[in-house]
Structure 1
């Protein structure tokens, strides 16, 4: 990849840890934990736990008599999650696919899935799995972005719009899953209780380039002839000068079984 189009694709473990550590990441994750209303002694499932960014906070919520189950299918993610939780006896890490959760039916009190459904083959099946493993009266939290709402400020508004359209049509598998969460959750039998939105705002160009993949995605759009090369390079270069702004909408849905 040309260095003029930003950073290369980052290591996924490092990428997820950095995204979670940012102000926007910390804010919506804390909001999710608060809305789940986790009590001491409960069993909590983190489906698609990644490198375990949320597992310590969940372990703190359930206390010494509770249990936290983190599930992921990526060996690198599992290794990092185990490393991060090695001193937390309440946490158990399991390898598994969110389409077929290795968890007994009606065995968890709380469950969460965070920015995973946008990548999966069948979001409705994953939600059905979460419904299966949650006890009656249990609470489940879902968080996903709506990439159609991605905006990047630039003098060349047409290229910004083309960039967002390319992202939604070609880069993210389920790019508008955020807006569909409530409908899909209702469809598998959940009672939707709360829908809230947050808007992560990026004012630092380099942070946005790393998190949103501005250069990486533009490189792909140029290679696949969706955006002209000179136009794409000019747009990207312009973003790095002066004030920078980008944002998107993140949707959180809290539902009960």
Structure 2
């Protein structure tokens, strides 16, 4: 599949699984912040193909319930296939702007790298507030794409980030906004943590951050000169590679 600039994009299920496998540390932080225990009901909004559902299902046991929701039918189908034999895991097609659940349905709610893609983050947060029990916990992990650090040519790093923020990601700096938006939606903010996983393998980082694909897109869009973009990519592949994205992890609570 190619995007509007004619550059092929990877299969979404494969991409989501690759990201999940590479982000074990911050995902464990997010899981720990959820403070799950047997019998709880948990919502994973933007669950994708379900890579994060097993750990939550294990934590709440069969006495609890884990509900994954995604707006993409392909993601829902993949997750449904994976968990068809887990009766306490449910997968739903749904839109975070209008969740198909009654008020005060869940003890916990979670989003991981999904709020960056929605049309109205504030509306989604308001929906999460609605479906949580009073005192229920919200945990969100989101990147700040303007803070992606790549060792090497600083101006090319900045140009790549600018293109990503302006063109490739709808809410590219949502991570730094989480606490403010959560308070505005009615949540009590307990804490904000950060995580910055470090990548030294260019091939893996290229799969996740699309250095090659998005540099080509930026070149075709006139945001980066071709000679500069090709030189930067060659340098990233031939030298010692280091890159680190900045993740924000929000811990918030619905008031009693």
Under a length normalisation based on structure 1, what TM-score does the superposition of the two structures give? 0.94
Q: 1:92 aligns with which of 86, 90, 93?
A: 90
- What is the CA-CA distance between 1:8 and the residue it aligns to? 4.4
- What is the CA-CA distance between 1:162 and the residue it aligns to? 1.0
Equivalent residue, structure 1, for 2:4: none
Equivalent residue, structure 2, for 1:12: 12
> 2: distance between equivalents of 1:54 and 1:172?
22
Equivalent residue, structure 2, for 1:116: 114
> 2: distance between equivalents of 1:70 and 1:103?
12
> 2: distance between equivalents of 1:157 and 1:137?
45
> 2: distance between equivalents of 1:169 and 1:94?
31
Residues 1-257 of structure 1: pairs in structure 2 closer than 5 A: 8-22=8-22, 25-154=23-152, 156-257=153-254
8 A Cα contact 1:200 1:248, kept in partner:
yes
TM superposition outliers: structure 1 runs of 4+ over 6 Å: none
8 A Cα contact 1:56 1:88, kept in partner:
no
Under a length normalisation based on structure 2, what TM-score does the superposition of the two structures give? 0.94
Unaligned runs of 5+ in 2: 2-6
8 A Cα contact 1:168 1:175, kept in partner:
yes
CA displacement, residues 70-107 of structure 1 (integer Å, 9 cap, x when unaligned): 11121110111011212211101111111111111101
> 2: distance between equivalents of 1:46 and 1:157?
37
> 2: distance between equivalents of 1:241 and 1:88?
46
> 1: distance between equivalents of 2:63 and 2:231?
57
> 1: distance between equivalents of 2:242 and 2:148?
11
Unaligned runs of 5+ in 1: 2-6
Equivalent residue, structure 2, for 1:4: none
C-alpha RMSD of matched pairs (Å): 1.3
- What is the CA-CA distance between 1:185 and the residue it aligns to? 0.3
Q: What is the number of residues matched between the two proteins?
A: 249
> 2: distance between equivalents of 1:113 and 1:103?
16
> 1: distance between equivalents of 2:154 and 2:111?
34
- What is the CA-CA distance between 1:26 and the residue it aligns to? 1.1
> 1: distance between equivalents of 2:168 and 2:179?
23
CA displacement, residues 142-165 of structure 1 (integer Å, 9 cap, x when unaligned): 1100111111112x3222211111
Query: 3-state DSSP class of the match of 2:172?
Result: coil
